[in-house]
Chain A
Amino acid sequence: MIDSVGKTFRRGGRRTVALAGVSLAVQAGELVCLLGPSGCGKSTLLRIVAGALERDEGTVTVGGRTVSGPSPARGMLFQTPMLFPWLTTRKNMLFGPKAQRSAGLDERDDPELDAEADAILRTVGLAKFGDAFPHELSGGMQHRAAFARAIITRPSLLLMDEPFGALDAITRVRMHDFLLSMWDQYRTTIIFVTHDIEEAVLLGDRVAVMGGRPPGIQEVIDIPLGRPRHALDADTEAFLVAKRRIRASLTV
């Protein structure tokens, strides 16, 4: 739940309003896309929800708790996979649980974690690459490894900041199928930031269109496509209708 959040950046006496009065309620298990052009504050909003940026106004609550800093309950995926290059895929995945264990927050023991890591590696199709280093993986594989690393900490909310923006078009379609399939399985709530209308329509239950001066959410549009979805759904009429609707909303 995001309630009338505002953020102003100050630099050298100049004030830039990055967000003003943004409110959005996201249901558990929902996949919501934040769509808008560069500089519309969508990444800023995501980082505020993550707890990486402080908000100047409003409140952000996740699962009844007010956000006050980064937390493993809110996993985050970035445009680049941000894997730790000195760790293998498996050790990348175990980074979170181990870091939490050192603070007494994760009580899973090694055999349990290993079993879960194995299961997730199989699910994301990297069973044979647990011992590979990130530089030995392809771009798509790295993103799947990053997803695996985020999911093993069992976040209730996944924040995705244009995660497939740097991939080529073909890999990107595969990653869409991957994400849809993962979401079907884990049903984690996802807030997905993108500037790609088709991506937003294909993935989202709802699309929050952002923009304006000062930047905020212009409109929230329901996507009437069924679930489970597949990349091929981009060829349906319902998809085109939704896409047109969003395009109209963006040009207003």
Chain B
Amino acid sequence: MASWQPLGLGGSVAERPPLDEAFLPGEGGGDPWEGGGEQGPGERADRAGRADLAAYRRARRRARTRRVGTGAAGIVSIAVAWQIAATICKDPVFLPSVTQTARTFLHYLDRPYPAQGSPLWYDALVSLRRILIGFAIGVAAGVTVGSAMSASRVVRHLIDPVIEVFRPLPPLAFIPLFIIWFGIGELPKEVLIVIGVVPIMAVTTVAALDEVPEDLRLCARTLGASRRYTMLHVQIRSALPGILTGMRISMAAAWTSIVAAELIAATSGLGYLIQQAGDYLDTALVLSGIITIAILGLTLDACLRGLLVLADPSRRG
């Protein structure tokens, strides 16, 4: 019955009579439909001055800087405790001090250590390469499987039990099998990472896509978006933060797999380095290898977290 009429929206917004003065948000008065007692998440914005969004964001940024400062203090206090323990213990084989470890780390960073003949950066690069290849393939496959499961009930019922069987298995149990199948080259390590990453990514992708409210899609459709546009710009976009969180979890799992594989069957990589250094009782070098893993892991996680912040503005600040 209702039909579109030139109800003041026909491109004549400027011609419409202005709202009652009392309704117009004045500079000091805030806005007419909000009192001071507004409850809800926006109250933070209101308190920091609803007239000044920038000030609110500055305040949140300051809070984040404080948080980072506190976090750094935690790490520093661990280092201090370690240094004190090493000083009391006086046995560099049992526990080298922070300074000894740092010296070893810097020394072998670009100098080959006696047992193996390659410097620290080389082993770090080898491990990083394995991680990135396995992770990329695993994420691509996992997201694809997850999307298919979310889109089709049949696919979901088909793949769900397979994942449920694989998910609780520690990837490390497959190492001997992969050595039999693929030898001790690069392939078994990458396959190991892939089988660790795929189930995690599939499960988190399904959860992220399922979580997109039906009404959000309907909302996009009533705003004039086609099915395809809604799929790409709403459903997948909306699931992105969940998928990125899955990637962070997968990345940690990938490091576990690769280091374990390198400890058992490898001739390069950080796991191999730690193994070798342990055999020669070079504890400072063992710790250097562990610290390298920590640095690489933190860096990769920071990259993913950066993407997550880009994808989900509510995590900013």
Q: When A63-B2, A120-B13, A171-B39 are in contact, do A135 and B314 touch as well, CB less than 8 Å?
A: yes
Question: Measured between alpha carbons, how far is A132 from B238 in the docked complex, in Å?
Answer: 18
Are A63 and B41 closer than 8 Å at their CB atoms?
A: no
Q: Is the CB of A136 within 8 A of B19?
A: no
B280 at the interface (CB under 8 A from A): no
Q: A26-B2, A149-B223, A178-B33 are in contact. Are A187 and B7 (CB under 8 A)?
A: yes
Distance (Å) between the CB of A21 and the closest chain B CB? 18
A61 contacts B223, C-beta separation under 8 Å:
no
Interface bin, chain B? 35 or more
What residue in chain A is nearest B222 (Cβ atoms)?
Answer: A76
A21-33 vs B, Cβ < 8 Å mask (1 yes, 0 no): 0000111111000
Min CB distance, A163 to chain B, in Å? 12
B44 nearest in chain A by CB position: A136
In the assembly, what is the distance between CA of A129 and CA of B57, in Å?
12
Given contacts A28-B3, A73-B4, 19 further A-B contacts (CB under 8 A): A26-B1, A52-B221, A70-B222, A75-B222, A75-B223, A85-B312, A99-B220, A99-B230, A103-B226, A125-B31, A128-B53, A132-B45, A133-B313, A135-B313, A136-B53, A139-B39, A140-B38, A171-B34, A186-B8
Give 23 CB contacts A-B under 8 Å: A1-B1, A78-B219, A82-B216, A84-B234, A84-B238, A86-B237, A97-B224, A99-B229, A125-B34, A131-B53, A136-B53, A137-B42, A138-B34, A138-B41, A139-B41, A139-B42, A140-B34, A150-B223, A153-B224, A156-B5, A168-B40, A186-B8, A188-B7
Partner-B contacts on A (CB < 8 A) = 1, 25-30, 47, 50, 52, 61-64, 69-76, 78, 80, 82, 84-86, 95-97, 99-100, 102-103, 105-106, 112, 115-116, 119-120, 123, 125-129, 131-142, 144, 149-151, 153-154, 156-157, 159, 168, 170-171, 174-175, 177-178, 181, 185-189
